Amino acid sequence: MARGRSAPAPAPEPKGRNTMTETVAADWTVPSGLGTSAARVVAELTKVEPPQPGYLERPWGDGTAPPLYVPVAERIDDALTEVVEDGLAAWAEEVGFEGDDLDHMRKAGFGRLAVLTHVDTEDPDRLLIAAKLNAAWWAADDLYADDSDMGAEPTQLPPRLAIAMAAMDPLPDAGEFSVPLAETLASDVVLRALRTGIDHLTRYGTPSIVQRVNYSTFAMFVSWTSYAAWRHTGEYPPAWKYLATRQHDTFYTSMTLIDAVGGYEVPANLYYEPDVRRAAFQAGTASVLVNDLLSVKKDAADEKPVVNMVLQVAADRGIPVEEATEVVVDLHNKVVRDFEELHRSLLPLPSPELQRFLRGLKSWMGGGFEWHNTNPRYR
């Protein structure tokens, strides 16, 4: 702006964009693509909800470390779990897991994970969305990225993940060049799992949700390539750099499925509103710190040790793993308390979809802890 001239009056802010409250007001009063009417919204807003389960400190692992502050697990349903696990086992065999890999898949308990974490539905087919995709992500993580005994090779990870993206997000036809791609996608069990997992999601989720899941997965893949580089060179990162990388590789990716599994959709501009995204990242990070805490012995035992927050803190500070564990427990508990405070601040916002999703994040943390702490994989 030239000196000596008065500034023109600023243009008015577009409605619905300047504050979180206005954004919600713009979204919640409009019927969504899932058929929600304005009357339905008013009914939801006036309905009295039961009190939400709270948080508590829970022992974990062998009980020698300080407790973790976590939400209460809201549902443990063995009968529903059995139904979902049976469906998952049939799918795993259908996509081609066999031998040890099939046994590994059956014992991992991804059906139980879905039942514990997605507590707002009892529909086994919707729960299979989460069970299948979590199983596919874990298979890619083990077979491509983490476990040397299962074939993971750091130098092969980036090209493998590039093809995995093509399995999840199909590419336009490229004539003769599409033929070898199709053959590759059909020949690899991890790629078949990813493709059919997304196909299942597509039957229930909108295109917006499907691409949300795809692109959160692809961000996660970028973090995996960083870990591979560190393992290949032996130049492991300081804890701060690992944590920054890890925050795009958390159970946030699993949490992108919450509304699709529950049978609703958070509008995109609300889902990606900074406070909502921060809450989702806090929930995802807290859950993945539980994973790191319970995976220390397994990760340290690999011939090419897996990057792990506890191990990085121990290396940075030259302290025993037990002391580093206390540091990570404190970090986890801080992240959960920060989520709890942020969730409380968002409760007045009048969007039933948003409130259901925020409760879903909390439920996921509680169920995710229960799953990790009782899963033989981490014992």
pLDDT at 85: 96
- Is the pLDDT higher at 141 or at 36? 141
In a domain, residue 257? The reply is yes
Least confident range of 200-214, 223-237, 323-337, 352-366:
223-237
Can you say whether the dihedral through the CA atoms of 348, 352, 357, 359 is positive or negative? positive
Q: How many domains does the chain have?
A: 1
pLDDT at 42: 37
Average pLDDT of every residue of the chain? 87
CATH code (residue 218): 1.10.600.10
76: CB partners within 8 A, 6+ apart: 116, 370
Main-chain dihedrals φ then ψ at residue 56, nearest 5 degrees? -155, 165
In a domain, residue 136? The reply is yes
Tens-place pLDDT, residues 112-146: 999 999 999 999 999 999 999 999 999 999 888 76
- CB neighbour burial string for 323-347, b if at least 16 within 10 angstroms, e if fewer: ebbebbbebbbebbeebbebbeebe
- Is the pLDDT higher at 100 or at 19? 100
pLDDT at 29: 31
How far apart, in whole angstroms, are the C-alpha atoms of residue 260 and residue 231? 36
The β-bridge partners of 70 are 56
In a domain, residue 12? The reply is no
pTM of the predicted model, to two decimals?
0.85
Tens-place pLDDT, residues 239-273: 999 999 999 999 999 999 999 999 999 999 999 99
- Residue whose tokens read 């507590």: 119
CA distances from 111 to 11, 108, 325 (A): 53, 9, 29
Q: For the chain, first and last CA: distance in Å?
A: 65
How far apart, in whole angstroms, are the C-alpha atoms of residue 216 and residue 209? 11
Q: Which domain holds residue 85?
A: 59-378
In a domain, residue 264? The reply is yes
In a domain, residue 126? The reply is yes
Q: What is the CA angle 185-189-192, rounded to 5?
A: 50
pLDDT for residue 46 is more than 70? no
In a domain, residue 202? The reply is yes
Q: Is the Cβ–Cβ distance between 354 and 24 less than 8 Å?
A: yes
pLDDT at 300: 85
pLDDT at 152: 62
- Is the pLDDT higher at 28 or at 308? 308
pLDDT at 64: 94
In a domain, residue 204? The reply is yes
pLDDT at 3: 36
pLDDT at 150: 61
Task: Tell me the pLDDT band of 103, cut-offs 50, 70 and 90.
Answer: confident
